[in-house]
Amino acid sequence: MPQQPRPADSREIDGARGGFDRRSLLRSALSAAMLAAGGCAGGDDDAVTFFFQARPEEARTRLRIIDEFQRRRPDIRIRTIMSGPDPLQQMLTYCAGGKCPDVLMAWELLYAGLADRGVLVDLREFLDREPDYAARLRADGYATLRDTFVWGGGQYALPEQWSGVFLYYNRKLFAEAGIQPPVRWSQAWTFDEFLTAARALTHRDTDGRTRQWGFVDAWVPYFSAACFGMNNGTEWFSPPVRPEHTNLGDPAFAAGLQFYADLAVRHRVAPSVGDRQSVSAQDLFRSGRAAMLLGGHWLYSEFTDRDGLDFDVTVLPVGPQGGPGAITDIGSTGLAIAASSPRREQAWEFVKFATGPEGQAIIAESGLFVPVLRSAMRSPGFATAHPTLRNLEVFIEGPENSRPLAVTPLWGKVEALLERGCNRVLRGAATADSLGGRTSDDIDQLLRASI
């Protein structure tokens, strides 16, 4: 019987949505090589293999879910497989080699490529057998998250966490400036109100050096810019799932994207592209040198560990053609089952547990993820896990106010075009209106060819 790898722990796990450092990359590459050589299910090993990516704190929460599941179902063993820096390619390599993990973490922007290749099971196979459970899950969940993982009419993953973006803000700095931010997605502030606040919260020395920024961004800048575009009344892609057209050239979307770019380029209330190379947004916010930070819940644990940092969360602003409420991106991950899995039934029991009330209760209590069921969102455990926050409604209402960025099997090629075009705007080398030309045409041509 082959030796079973140890479950992933904090000494082995690195990397997350925020990226990898060199040591993490080397460690992940070594881990991937070992797994490719024999880490997946094979021989007489009947454990359900679970492929996921996580930072150390996140991995510990996943292991709590696994431990509780195995306590309740000792007849089903779970073996963890950690992702390297390119999870999609890693999954494709595994599956092409006949060693696809049984349960796979599914990303909003990546799963469609796997579904299109027939790598994933349509989970209706299991949900249709348990109509009462499916109905309860549907009533307790959020259609915005669930439908993100519907591809070609099939349900290829069930959501497990929400991680849309919002604004962290420093309560002390806001109080000193006399600014009270909104607390509900339905009652968002305007672009003008947001800019006024960012200006009041940006402080410079007499030599012009910025000692406190009004706003910093800890996410992917062109994704963030797209959220500002969508908050000016226009979706990034139409339709968001299996898109046929990008709205980069729409005047309202371009104006929202330009507003985001101008925060750094024109108004100087945010660091420029060059400034971002010298210090991270997280460090600026943690040290009190930034009053607002755009990011997701994955950063929450980093800020709670900072002594003296009194912070809360608020919503994104809306432009003159958007609203009345603000929206954010879905930012959800889900759990899927490999079509080639010989352990489909056992895998389903684990997916059902992790995405259902029991697993979501553990997620809620951990404070590391935002759960995807209303019952877990409203549970005492979720509130207890965020003791310093007064604006918990920003999390609780987040899923219902989320929109997909784009779900397409061509996302990798589309993103390359987006990054090239948008980064010129974010550096101030072009205006957002220019994206309605070649960048939009190239993306539309690519999307049309796939229909």
276, 391: one domain: no
- pLDDT at 34 (0 to 100): 32
Question: Is residue 231, in this structure, part of any structural domain at all?
Answer: yes
- pLDDT at 104 (0 to 100): 96
pLDDT digits (tens, 9 = 90+) for 20-38: 333 333 333 333 333 333 3
Local structure of 65: helix, strand or coil:
helix
451 — pLDDT class (breaks 50, 70, 90): low
* 209-215 mean pLDDT: 96
pLDDT at 123 over 90: yes
201, 321: one domain: yes
Question: Is residue 12, in this structure, part of any structural domain at all?
Answer: no
Question: Is residue 211, in this structure, part of any structural domain at all?
Answer: yes
Local structure of 121: helix, strand or coil:
coil
173, 157: one domain: no
Measured CA to CA in angstroms, residue 411 lies from 21, 109, 226, 402, 426 at distances of 24, 7, 15, 19, 21
pLDDT digits (tens, 9 = 90+) for 258-297: 999 999 999 999 999 878 777 899 999 999 999 999 999 9
pLDDT digits (tens, 9 = 90+) for 407-439: 999 999 999 999 999 999 999 999 999 999 999
Phi, psi of 51 (to 5 degrees): -100, 125
- pTM for this prediction: 0.87
* 237-264 mean pLDDT: 96
31, 125: one domain: yes
pLDDT digits (tens, 9 = 90+) for 309-347: 999 999 999 999 998 999 999 889 999 999 999 999 999
Last residue of a domain, one of 396, 420, 435: 396
Q: Could you give the residue ranges of the DSSP H alpha helices within 208-356? A: 221-230, 251-265, 273-276, 281-286, 300-304, 344-355
Phi, psi of 439 (to 5 degrees): -60, -50
Question: Is residue 14, in this structure, part of any structural domain at all?
Answer: no
109, 234: one domain: no
237-238 vs 245-246, strand pairing mode? antiparallel
- pLDDT at 350 (0 to 100): 98
Residue labelled with tokens 């991106």: 329
pLDDT digits (tens, 9 = 90+) for 134-171: 999 999 999 999 999 999 999 999 999 998 999 999 99
Measured CA to CA in angstroms, residue 7 lies from 37, 39, 49, 82, 103 at distances of 17, 11, 11, 9, 15
348, 417: one domain: no
Q: And the tokens for 431?
A: 């205006």
27, 87: one domain: yes
* CA–CA dist 345, 440 (Å, integer): 44
Last residue of a domain, one of 371, 396, 421: 396
* 65-93 mean pLDDT: 91
| CATH number for the domain that contains residue 416 | 3.40.190.10
Question: Is residue 6, in this structure, part of any structural domain at all?
Answer: no
319, 269: one domain: yes
* 200-227 mean pLDDT: 95
Given 3-state DSSP classes, what are the helix, strand and coil percentages for the chain, each rounded to the nearest 5?
Answer: 45, 15, 40
- pLDDT at 165 (0 to 100): 96
356, 419: one domain: no
pLDDT digits (tens, 9 = 90+) for 338-376: 999 999 999 999 999 999 999 999 999 999 899 999 999
- pLDDT at 8 (0 to 100): 35
pLDDT digits (tens, 9 = 90+) for 166-191: 999 999 999 999 999 999 999 999 99
Question: Is residue 17, in this structure, part of any structural domain at all?
Answer: no
pLDDT at 69 over 70: yes
Question: Is residue 2, in this structure, part of any structural domain at all?
Answer: no
Question: Is residue 11, in this structure, part of any structural domain at all?
Answer: no
- pLDDT at 276 (0 to 100): 79
* 75-98 mean pLDDT: 88
- 309 Cβ neighbours under 8 A, 6+ residues apart: 170, 285, 286, 288, 303
Which of these, 230, 214, 255, 374, lies nearest to 316 by C-alpha position? 230
* CA–CA dist 352, 300 (Å, integer): 27
Last residue of a domain, one of 396, 422, 440: 396
pLDDT at 12 over 60: no
322, 363: one domain: no
- 274 Cβ neighbours under 8 A, 6+ residues apart: none
pLDDT digits (tens, 9 = 90+) for 216-229: 999 999 999 999 99
Full domain range(s) for residue 263:
165-329+410-450
285, 335: one domain: no
129, 258: one domain: no
In this predicted model, which residue has the larger pLDDT, 127 or 109?
127
Q: Give me the number of domains the chain comprises.
A: 2
- pLDDT at 405 (0 to 100): 86
Q: Which amino acid is at 177?
A: A
Strands (E), 53-90: 78-82
